[in-house]
Amino acid sequence: MRTVFVLFLLLQLFQNGMAQPINQLDSLRSIPVEKRDAKTYYLLGSVYDSLAQLDSGLYYTEKALALVSDEHLEAKVRYLHGFLNFRAGLYSVGHMQAFKALELSLALSDTANITDCYWLLGVLAFETGLYDKCIEYYDKGLVYVPDGEGFLISKGAAFIRQKQYFKAIGFFQELVTKFTDPLSISSVHNNLGEAFLDLGHYDSAYHHLSKSIQINTETRDSASLMYDNYMFGRYYFQLKNDKDAGNYFGQALQLSKKFGDAEYTWNANELPLLYDYLVQIYTVQNKLDSVIVMKNGLIELERKRLNQQLLNTVELAFAGQEKRFDDLLLQQQKSKRALVEYYGIAIGLIIILIVYFLFNGINDKKKYSPYVSVVLLILAFEFILILLDPILGKLTNSEPVFSFMVNVLIALALVPVQQYGERIFNKYAVVVRLKKMEEEKPSNH
């Protein structure tokens, strides 16, 4: 059934608009690691979500959660993290994050995020078979958006899952007179077709499925046509018309190859059933090669599902290690820069010392000595700061005020050192001048 997908599609269009994910990704990744904040990581997670790269999306939203301090942003990050976990099949984690996001959004009166959270909680309850809870969440969401078509359609779909077919039919027949959006109207007809099909009312089922597929053919909505073909396959399969059932299931399978990566609920629910239907049909038709292909498809689908679960489990288990790895990488980058500065200042010190000696050893250049002394003091100050940077960072916790105070203390401590050094150099200069005078004094013979 396509109900959840329709709502996902509308949500993604709302969130991403006409943005170009690849260009946005390049722009965000160009930001240096040390300058990335919670919002940057949240945006990275959003882009990877739109690209259906769940592992990267989860990783960056986890980094955003570790840095976020603003409650409004935290609510959005938690919602996105819950949404990504739902897509990855980690329903318990998704529910936990969605619920935390809802609590924050309610406290902040963030209506937009509140409705998103109720929708996600409803979908999670739907996928785990908690249909009473699902309807409860949808009803709460409808308080904020009374005409929310996605909530209403999903609520009716939950009635079908509860096998309350007549209640669902009455509910959808009322909705079809209110909706104006073709995508929503076709979804209502698709659900009515499913309800009548499960009741065995084949004429009514055919009527509504035909309307749905007609609307989606006119609007060229291929993703929705995938569901229409699947439902018509079920219709003919129940009528034991294997030929037509096989044709419709085959068209649904072809369309799923285009939209399967983006349509995760289809992959989790309908696609395995589609393969199973085709295995049964091809077995009856004695098409052994096709049976093998469909069974291999089922095996591959299961393999992908297990791999994804394993990947997500590993990501959750090593989230802390990944964070430490990034911190270590950042520290290494800082160390490399510090090393370059260290050698640069060291070389500068040596050069200045040599020049200092020369200036203090030449009488007509003595007036430059104080300037050289100041430059030497500044370089020595920077040199000490670089050497003590790791210690000072821990000592001050990188607080600007404390760092400034420590820097002032270091500068004050260098003043007597500079004065002492200048006295030594002046004495040396006097000795040099006296020696030079002795050498220049004419000898008595």
Condensed to tens digits (0 to 9), the pLDDT of residues 175-220 reads 988 888 999 999 999 999 999 999 999 999 999 999 999 998 888 8
- pLDDT of 311 > 50? The answer is yes
Give the N- to C-terminal CA distance of the chain in Å, as an integer. 121
Mean pLDDT lowest among 3-12, 48-57, 187-196, 348-357 = 3-12
The answer to whether 277 and 249 are in contact (CB under 8 A) is yes
- Residue whose structure tokens are 């995760």: 264
Higher pLDDT, 302 or 398: 302
- Residue whose structure tokens are 């270590």: 328
Higher pLDDT, 127 or 115: 115
Higher pLDDT, 109 or 4: 109
- The model's confidence at residue 141, banded by pLDDT at 50, 70 and 90, is very high
Mean pLDDT lowest among 51-55, 212-216, 414-418, 433-437 = 433-437
- pLDDT of 165 > 90? The answer is yes
pLDDT, the chain, mean: 76
Q: Where in the chain is the domain with CATH 1.25.40.10?
A: 3-257
* Closest CA relative to residue 411, chosen from 374, 368, 444: 374
Give the fold, CATH level 3, of 3-257.
1.25.40
Is the sign of the CA dihedral 122, 123, 125, 131 positive or negative?
A: positive
The answer to whether 46 and 15 are in contact (CB under 8 A) is yes
Q: At what angle do helices 38-50 and 3-16 cross, to 10 degrees?
A: 130
Task: Write the burial class of residue 396 (CB in 10 Å: 0-12 exposed, 13-18 middle, 19+ buried).
Answer: middle
Amino acid at 273: L
The answer to whether 97 and 81 are in contact (CB under 8 A) is yes
Q: Can you tell me the mean pLDDT for 394-422?
A: 71
Please give the pLDDT value at position 14. 39
Q: Can you tell me the mean pLDDT for 49-67?
A: 85
The C-alpha atoms of residue 358 and residue 377 are separated, in whole angstroms, by 17
The C-alpha atoms of residue 409 and residue 21 are separated, in whole angstroms, by 50
Q: Can you tell me the mean pLDDT for 147-160?
A: 92
The C-alpha atoms of residue 352 and residue 358 are separated, in whole angstroms, by 10
- pLDDT of 224 > 80? The answer is yes
The answer to whether 209 and 193 are in contact (CB under 8 A) is yes
Mean pLDDT lowest among 65-69, 82-86, 321-325, 368-372 = 321-325
